[in-house]
């Protein structure tokens, strides 16, 4: 019995030794930053001077005396409510088209996936040229026909939809996930439904969509979390303008942390964003029992 217990302890220690690089990395690069940011959110901290504990003062100021917080949160909610469904539906429709028998299907699949692997700076340079009011391909064609140019990125009303359009264009990752789920639907279900007299629309609505709902849940959650934290695309395209029309929550957080050096305030903003994302994700998970179907059920 003693030898058995000793061998079990040795195996446990060996397992911990093999897992220790990941554990140490997790503690240093995940747990410590989380705890540090939670502490800094309760302080006044500008990197130069030592943090000064102020309790919940940062949170009170955010909710009661910061109009930009409400503006950036509203802009972010707009991107989530409009942008996430738009990108989701676009990727789903493209995946269904690419799942059909057609000439050059593999080529088209590559074409639609390329935006997802193209460096975002390169993509932004292309879209800045497309949206340019004087030399862009769209406005150039309009001006040549005597029509007024469209101020895609310089109009507060059009800036957000213009960025959402770019997000829909770069939804190649979601297209691949949906395409894989479509190809994994058992052919026998379609054959049985066809024999029972179901038309194409009935097969799509009753078989295709339910069988792909687990992947839909995954794409919905990842798109939602990514959009709440969206930074690179709006920063490179508009830097939050015009007139703060595209000043998203993550941009405002970045400015407070690395422009104004209000690290404590930025940490409080980060924790508020974390709680918002957590609550929305929890609500989606709770609702998923009513619309997500797994094969084992």
Q: What is the pLDDT of residues 176-231, one digit of tens each?
A: 999 999 998 888 988 898 888 888 889 899 999 999 999 999 999 999 999 999 99
pLDDT averaged over every residue in the chain: 91
Partners of residue 52 on adjacent β-strands: 44
Which pair of tokens denotes residue 264? 């404590």
* Integer Cα distance of 91 and 96 in angstroms: 9
Answer yes or no: are the C-beta atoms of 129 and 137 closer than 8 Å. Answer: yes
pLDDT of residue 2: 59
pLDDT of residue 296: 55
Average pLDDT over residues 103-108: 86
More confident residue, 59 or 117: 59
Phi, psi (deg, nearest 5) at residue 43? -135, 165
For residue range 236-294, what is the model confidence (pLDDT) as tens digits? 999 998 999 999 999 999 999 999 999 999 999 999 999 999 999 999 999 998 999 88
Q: Is the predicted pLDDT of residue 30 greater than 60, yes or no?
A: yes
Range in 1-5, 88-92, 110-114, 155-159 with the lowest mean pLDDT = 1-5
Partners of residue 44 on adjacent β-strands: 52
Neighbours of 201 (CB within 10 A): 8
Average pLDDT over residues 72-90: 96
14 falls in which pLDDT band (50, 70, 90)?
Answer: confident
CA atoms within 13 A on the CB side of 85: 4
Which pair of tokens denotes residue 268? 């409080």
Q: What is the β-pairing status of strands 52-53 and 43-44?
A: antiparallel
Q: Residues 240, 245, 246, CA angle at the centre, nearest 5°?
A: 40
Coil vs helix vs strand at 253: helix
43 falls in which pLDDT band (50, 70, 90)?
Answer: very high
Share of the chain above pLDDT 70, in %: 98
Q: Residues 209, 111, 91, CA angle at the centre, nearest 5°?
A: 25
pLDDT of residue 256: 95
Q: Is the predicted pLDDT of residue 55 greater than 60, yes or no?
A: yes
Answer yes or no: are the C-beta atoms of 40 and 264 closer than 8 Å. Answer: yes
* Integer Cα distance of 4 and 6 in angstroms: 5
pLDDT of residue 289: 87
* Integer Cα distance of 224 and 76 in angstroms: 11
Reading phi first (left if > 0) and then psi (alpha if -120 to 50, else beta), residue 55 is in left
Rg (CA), the chain: 25
pLDDT of residue 297: 55
Q: Is the predicted pLDDT of residue 12 greater than 90, yes or no?
A: no
Answer yes or no: are the C-beta atoms of 95 and 175 closer than 8 Å. Answer: yes
38 falls in which pLDDT band (50, 70, 90)?
Answer: very high
């Amino acid at each position: 019995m003693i030898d058995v217990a000793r061998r079990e302890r040795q195996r446990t220690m060996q397992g911990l030794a093999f897992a220790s690089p990941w554990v140490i990395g997790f503690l240093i690069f995940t747990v410590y930053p989380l705890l540090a940011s939670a502490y800094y959110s309760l302080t006044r901290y500008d990197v130069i001077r030592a943090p000064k504990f102020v309790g919940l003062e940062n949170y009170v100021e955010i909710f009661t005396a910061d109009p930009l917080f409400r503006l950036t949160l509203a802009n972010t909610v707009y991107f989530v409510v409009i942008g996430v469904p738009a990108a989701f539906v676009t990727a789903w429709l493209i995946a269904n088209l690419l799942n059909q028998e057609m000439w050059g299907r593999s080529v088209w699949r590559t074409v639609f996936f390329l935006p997802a692997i193209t460096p975002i700076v390169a993509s932004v340079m292309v879209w800045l040229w497309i949206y340019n009011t004087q030399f862009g391909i769209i406005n150039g064609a309009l001006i040549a026909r005597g029509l007024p140019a469209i101020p895609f990125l310089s109009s507060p009303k059009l800036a957000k939809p213009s960025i959402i359009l770019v997000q829909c264009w770069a939804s190649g990752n979601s297209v691949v996930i949906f395409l894989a789920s479509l190809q994994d639907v058992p052919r026998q279900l379609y054959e049985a439904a066809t024999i029972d007299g179901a038309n194409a629309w009935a097969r799509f609505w009753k078989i295709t969509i339910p069988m792909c709902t687990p992947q839909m849940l995954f794409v919905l959650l990842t798109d939602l979390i990514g959009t709440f934290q969206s930074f690179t695309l709006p920063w490179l395209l508009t830097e939050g303008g015009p007139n703060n029309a595209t000043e998203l929550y993550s941009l405002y957080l970045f400015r407070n942390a690395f422009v104004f050096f209000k690290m404590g305030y930025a940490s409080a903003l980060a924790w508020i964003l974390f709680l918002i994302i957590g609550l929305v994700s929890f609500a989606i998970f709770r609702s998923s029992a009513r619309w997500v179907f797994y094969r084992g059920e």
